[in-house]
Amino acid sequence: MVAVSEQTYKTARTDTRRAKPFRFDPLFAAATRAAAITVLVLLFGIMASMIYGGWPAFRAFGLGFLTGTQWDTMNDVYGGLPAIVGTLSTALIAMVIGVPLSIGTAIYLTQLAPAWFKRPVGTAVELLAAVPSIIYGMWGLFVFVPLFAAWFQVPVSSVVEGMPIVGTIFYARSPSGLGILSAGIILAFMIVPFIASLTRDMLDQIPTVLRESAYGIGCTTWEVVRHVLLPQAGVSIIGAIMLGLGRALGETMAVTFVIGNANRLSASVMDPGSTIASRIASEFNEALGMQMNALIGLGCVLFFVTFVVLVIARILVSRVRQY
Amino acid sequence: MRKFTTAAAAFAGLALTAALPATSARAADITGAGATFPFPIYAKWAEAYKAASGIGLNYQSIGSGGGIRQIRAKTVDFGASDAPVKGEELTRDGMIQFPMVMGGVVPALNVQGVGQRGLKLTGPLLAEIFLGDVKKWNDPKIVALNPGVTLPDATINVVYRSDGSGTTFVWTEYLSLVSDAWKSKIGTNTSVQWPVGVGGRGNEGVSGTVRQIANSIGYVEYAYAKQNNLSYALVQNAAGQFPVPDDKSFQAAANGANWESQPGFGISLNNQRSPEAWPIVSATFILMYAKPADPARSQAALKFFDWAFANGDKLALDLEYVPLPDPVKAKVRASWKGMTDAAGKPIF
C-alpha cells in the first residue's frame, strides 16, 4: 500500500517538474472555503440581527414572551404561546400524516410497482414538489376547505360533541373548515413529494444484491423492506424527514391561507390558530414599534425551535446508527 | 488585455448613459409610501397627472404603518395612512395631516337564501355577532329585523382581517361607537384581539374566505365589495335609517362631520347623524412635514394633490372611491398654508 502511493507520488512529482501546469487546486480549495464561510457568516448575521431586533420584546416580556397568550397590539403586550403551539402542532400533524404516506409511496415505487406505473407516479411526485406554496394555499382555501368543512368538520363535530377529551380535541366551535388541522393536512401534502422522492432515491441506491439475497433465503416482501431496506436507508430517510419537517415548521403562505389566523389558544385542532410564520406574514406590513420587535422576536424563536428540532433529529440519527 | 479594457470602458460608458436619464427622471418624480387602500386611485391620478404635467408619482403601497415609518425616516415626500395619526404625535414630529379621499366599509355576507342587500342589521347587533354573543343566523334579534327573510339554523362564521389594516380600524371604531361591550372588551385599532372567527389576509383574503365559507360574515372596503360583486348587509345609521352604501351616502357622512374638531382633520366619519349617511365611512390621510427639508419637492407633491382635488373626482368615482365634498377640500387647501420653507414662507 505504502509502496504504491510512494510510486504514485514520485510519478506525480516528475510530471509536475516536467510540465509545470497551472496549479488549480489551491484556488479551488479557496473558492469552496469562501462559499462555506459565506453560509456561516450569513447564518450568524441573520441570527444576530434577529436577536438585536427582537431584544426589546425579550427584555420587556421576559419568559412571558414564550408563555403569554395575549397578543394585544393596542396595549403593546405580546405573548407568543398561541403561535408557538400552532407551529409545533401543525408540523406534528403534517408529520403524522405525511411521513407514512411518503415512505409508503417510496417503497411502492421502488419495490412493488410495475415498470409502466413507476414513471408516471414518480414524475407526478416530482411535479408536486415544484408546485409553489401559494398554489397549495389557494387550492386549500378554495377547494379543500369548503369540502373539509361540509364532509368532515360538521359531521365529526356533531358526533364528538360533549365527549370527554375527543370532544375537546375534535369539536369545531364554528365549522368554517379553516383551522390547525386543515393547515396540518395541507402541510402534509406539501412535504410528501420531498420526503417521497428523497426516500425513493435512497432505496434505489441500495445494491440489488442485498435485496436479492434476502429474497433468496425466503424472506417476504415485508421482511425485505423491514429488515433489509429500511435499516440500510434509515439514516438517510430520517434526514429526508427532517428536511420535510423544516419546511413544515417554516411554511408561510399556504398556512396563512388555511389556518384561520386567530391569535387564540384552543384545545381543539378544528379551531383556527396561527403559526409563527403566518403571524409574521400577516402583521409585518403594518407593524410599528414594539409590535415589530415582537414579530422579529417570534422569528428568532422560530429559528431556535427549528434548531432544537434539528439537534433532536441528529441525536435520533446517532441512536439509530448504534443499533 | 487591451481588448478587455476597451470592452470594460465601453460597458461602463453604456451603464453611465443608461443611468443618467433614469436619475434625472427620478429627481422630478414625487415619492410617497403607505396605505394600500387608496393605492389604485393614487396610481390612476398619478397616471393622469403625468400626462398633464410630465411629473410622475412613485407610490409604494406598503401599508399605513410602513408609510408612517417612511415619512418619519424622511425617505419619501409624503406618507399615507388610513387611520389618522394622533394630534400629539403630529405636533411631536412636526407634521401636518389632511384627508385625500374617502371610502366606506360594508359587512360582506355569504348566507344561504340571502341575496344582495337582502339582510338588515344594526350596529349593536354587528358588535354582538363579532363578539360571539349572537351565534346563529336564525337568532331572534336578526329575525326580528328581517321579516320575510328565511334565515338558516347555522352557526355564524365571523371573518376578519388578519393583517393590520385601516379597514379594521374603521370597523372596530364603528363597533366601539355603537357598543359599550365592544369598546370595553375589544376597543379600536388596526388589529385587535378578535374573540371569535377566522382571519383572512387583505380585502381579497376576507372576501375570498367569506365567499368560500357558508354562513359567514366579514367586512371589506365598499369599492372591493362592489368590484367583486359580493353581497353585503344594510346597516342602520344613527338616524334609524337603512341607507344604501354609495358615493352619496358616504358624502353625506363627510358633509355632516365637524372636520376641525381634531388636529390634522383626524376625525371619525362613523355613525354620523345625517339620515342619508352610511354609518361606516372613513377618509384616508396624507402625512407631510410642516417644515420640509426640501421645500421644492413638497411643493411638487402639494401641486399634485391640488390637481387631484380639482380634476380627480371623476377618476375616483370610476374606481368607487368617494371624493371629499368641496367645503372640506377648501379647508384642506387652507391647511397647506401651514407648510413653510426654512425662511418661514408658505410653500403653497
Separation CA B89–CA B87 (nearest Å): 5
pLDDT band at B21 (very low <50, low <70, confident <90, very high): very low
Contact B65 A288 (CB under 8 A): yes
Q: Which 3-state string (H, E, C) describes chain A?
A: CHHHHHHHHHHHHHHHHHHCCCCCHHHHHHHHHHHHHHHHHHHHHHHHHHHHHHHHHHHHHCCHHHHCCCEECCCCEECCHHHHHHHHHHHHHHHHHHHHHHHHHHHHHHHHCCHHHHHHHHHHHHHHHHCCHHHHHHHHHHHHHHHHHHHHHHHHHHHHCCCCCHHHHCCCCCCCCCCHHHHHHHHHHHHHHHHHHHHHHHHHHCCHHHHHHHHHCCCCHHHHHHHHHHHHHHHHHHHHHHHHHHHHHHCCHHHHHHCCCCCCCCCCCCCCCCCHHHHHHHHHHHCCHHHHHHHHHHHHHHHHHHHHHHHHHHHHHHHHHHC
pTM for this structure? 0.80
Per-residue pLDDT of chain A (323 residues; tens, 9 = 90+): 445 555 555 555 555 555 666 788 889 999 999 999 999 999 999 999 999 999 999 999 989 899 998 888 778 889 999 999 999 999 999 999 999 999 999 999 988 888 898 889 888 888 988 899 999 999 998 899 989 988 898 888 888 888 888 888 888 877 888 999 999 999 999 999 999 999 998 888 888 898 889 989 999 989 988 888 888 888 888 888 888 998 899 899 899 999 998 888 888 888 999 999 999 988 887 777 888 899 999 999 999 988 888 788 778 777 766 55
Q: How far is B160 from chain A (nearest CA, A)?
A: 9
| pLDDT in the model for residue A8 | 53
Task: Put residue B154 in one of left, alpha, beta given phi > 0 → left and psi -120 to 50 → alpha.
Answer: beta
Q: State the best of A157, A174, A286, A292 to mutate against chain B, taking most chain B CBs within 10 Å.
A: A286
Residue of chain A minimizing CA distance to B189: A74
CB-based contact B154:B214 (threshold 8 Å): yes
At B22 the pLDDT is: 40
Q: B265 at the A interface (CB within 8 A)?
A: no
Answer whether B189 sits within 8 Å of A281, measured CB to CB.
Answer: no
User: What confidence category does residue B143 fall into, taking pLDDT thresholds of 50, 70 and 90?
Assistant: very high
Kindly report, residue by residue over B154-209, the tens digit of the pLDDT.
889 999 998 878 889 999 999 999 999 999 999 998 888 899 999 988 888 898 88
**What is the model's pLDDT at position A282?**
85
Q: Contacts of residue A149 in chain B, CB cutoff 8 Å?
A: 213-214
The reply to whether B69 touches chain A by the CB within 8 Å rule is yes
Contact B194 A285 (CB under 8 A): no
Instruction: Tell me if B213 and A178 make a contact (CB, 8 A cut-off).
Output: yes
Number of A–B residue contacts, CB under 8 Å: 101
Query: A261 contacts in B (CB within 8 Å)?
Result: 162, 198-201
Residue B335 grid cell: 391647511
Q: What was the pLDDT predicted at B3?
A: 45
With CB atoms and an 8 Å threshold, state whether A287 touches B155: no
| A224 close to A134: Cβ distance less than 8 angstroms | no
What residues in B contact A285, CB-CB < 8 Å? 62-63, 65-66, 163-164
A188 phi-psi bin (left φ>0, alpha ψ -120 to 50, beta other): alpha
What architecture is domain B6-102+281-338?
Answer: 3-Layer(aba) Sandwich (3.40)
Q: Does B134 touch chain A (CB under 8 A)?
A: no
Closest Cβ opposite residue A283 in set B164, B208, B209: B164
d(CA A157, CA B111): 21
What is the torsion angle, in degrees rounded to the nearest 10, for the CA atoms of residue B184, residue B188, residue B190 and residue B193? 10
Q: What is the CATH number of domain B105-257?
A: 3.40.190.10
Cell numbers at B338, concatenated: 401651514
Q: Give the gap in angstroms from C-alpha A86 to the nearest C-alpha of chain B.
A: 14
Cα separation, B210 vs B224, in Å, equals: 13
Q: Do B64 and A286 touch (CB under 8 A)?
A: yes
Q: Are A260 and B189 inside 8 Å of each other by CB?
A: no
The answer to whether the CB atoms of A176 and B198 lie below 8 A apart is: yes
Q: Is the pLDDT of residue B56 over 70?
A: yes
Per-residue confidence (pLDDT) for residue B11, from 0 to 100: 43
CA distance B70 to chain A (A): 11
Distances (CA, A) of A104 to A15, A126, A203, B99: 54, 16, 12, 61
- Beta strands A71-72 and A77-78 are antiparallel
**Is the confidence at residue B19, as pLDDT, over 50?**
no
CB under 8 Å, gap of 24 or more: what pairs does A9-14 form? Answer: none
Q: Which of B163, B193, B212 sits opposite A285 (nearest CB)?
A: B163
Which residues does chain A have within 8 Å of residue B193's beta carbon, measured at their own beta carbons?
A: 70-72, 263-264
B185: chain A residues, CB-CB within 8 Å: none
Domain ranges of chain B: 6-102+281-338, 105-257
Tell me how close the Cα of B13 comes to any Cα of chain A, in angstroms.
31
Burial class (CB in 10 A: 0-12, 13-18, 19+), B12: exposed
From B14's Cα to the closest Cα of chain A, the distance in A is: 31
Q: Which of B64, B165, B193 sits opposite A72 (nearest CB)?
A: B193
Q: Which cell numbers in the block locate residue B81?
A: 395612512
Set of chain B residues whose Cβ sits within 8 Å of the Cβ of A295: none
| pLDDT class of B333 with cuts at 50, 70, 90 | very high
Same topology, domains B6-102+281-338 and B105-257? Answer is: yes
- Residue B201 contacts A where some CB pair is shorter than 8 Å: yes
